[in-house]
Amino acid sequence: MNVPIKIGFPEFIVTAIAAIVLVFNYTYVQQDPQIASDILFAVVLIILGFVLSNLGKFYKQEDHVDAVEERKITYWFTVSLAGSIMISILSPFLNFDTVQTTNLPQNILTTIAITYGILIAVGEEWFFRGFLGNLILSRVPLPSLGSFLNAIVFMAYHSYVYHDSNAALVAVLFGGYLICYADFKTGRMITGMLTHMSVNLIAVGLKIVTPVAFALMAFHLIPAFVFVPICVLPILAKKLAIYLSI
pLDDT at residue 118 is higher than 80: yes
For residue 203, the model assigns a pLDDT of 75
Average pLDDT over residues 26-39: 66
Cα(177)–Cα(181) distance, integer angstroms: 6
pLDDT at residue 73 is higher than 70: yes
For 163-173, the pLDDT digits (tens) are 777 778 888 99
For residue 244, the model assigns a pLDDT of 57
For residue 234, the model assigns a pLDDT of 54
Report how far apart, in Å, the C-alpha atoms of 72 and of each of 36, 80, 181 are: 36, 12, 12
pLDDT at residue 207 is higher than 90: no
SS3 6: strand
Nearest to residue 118, comparing CAs of 183, 46, 201, 39?
A: 201
For 211-240, the pLDDT digits (tens) are 554 555 555 445 444 444 445 455 556 655
SS3 52: helix
Average pLDDT over residues 128-134: 94
pLDDT at residue 146 is higher than 70: yes
pLDDT at residue 41 is higher than 50: yes
For 181-191, the pLDDT digits (tens) are 999 999 999 99
For residue 93, the model assigns a pLDDT of 46
Amino acid in position 10: P
The pTM score is: 0.79
For residue 3, the model assigns a pLDDT of 81
b/e 169-180 (16+ beta carbons within 10 angstroms → b): bbbbbbbbbbbb
SS3 229: helix
Cα(50)–Cα(123) distance, integer angstroms: 10
Q: Between these two residues, 55 and 109, which has the higher pLDDT value?
A: 55
Cα(110)–Cα(105) distance, integer angstroms: 9
pLDDT at residue 246 is higher than 50: no
For residue 94, the model assigns a pLDDT of 46
For residue 123, the model assigns a pLDDT of 92
For residue 152, the model assigns a pLDDT of 96
Q: How confident is the model at residue 97 (pLDDT cuts 50, 70, 90)?
A: very low
Domain assignments of the chain as residue spans, ordered by start: 9-244
Amino acid in position 122: V
